[in-house]
Structure 1
Amino acid sequence: MSTAVKCPTCGKKVLWKPENKFRPFCCERCRLIDLGAWAKEEHKIPGDNQFDDVMESDLNNS
């Protein structure tokens, strides 16, 4: 049995099954629209600025 979910980009119902290579998106177009939004920083994951600005050199010195 497959579960139906909404495409995060267009809202179309999508069956969540292994054969759907674009899941949770309905198609490659919607997947690429979402990827472009992440690349333009339109989507963000909240974080703590204290840890976001750590440089690799800071990590190696501890």
Structure 2
Amino acid sequence: MAETIVTPLRPKRPCPECGRPSQRATFPFCSPRCKDIDLNRWLSGAYAIPVRDDEEDEQEATTGTGDRS
């Protein structure tokens, strides 16, 4: 029988936490430990989209909810 070459669906990438090669079962991480570290960062709020103060001021001005003293 001829051997069949299987092409992976996704390219191999390093683990975003430690840099080791990722594993199929925990993709894109290399282990359940690195996966749990990332989850903890999301749940604790370490990953957040920064908001500038001037964006909040612009939003208040357009909606009319700003404090006008």
TM-score, normalization by structure 2: 0.53
**Greater relative CO (CA pairs within 8 A, separation 6+):** 1
Alignment equivalent of 2:33, drawn from 29, 32, 36? 29
Identity across matched positions, percent: 35
Can you give the 5+ residue segments of structure 1 that lack an aligned partner in the other structure? 51-62
Alignment equivalent of 1:9, drawn from 17, 22, 25? 17
How many residue pairs get matched? 46
Can you give the 5+ residue segments of structure 2 that lack an aligned partner in the other structure? 1-6, 60-69
Max Rg structure: 2
> When you count strand as a share of all residues, which structure comes out higher?
1
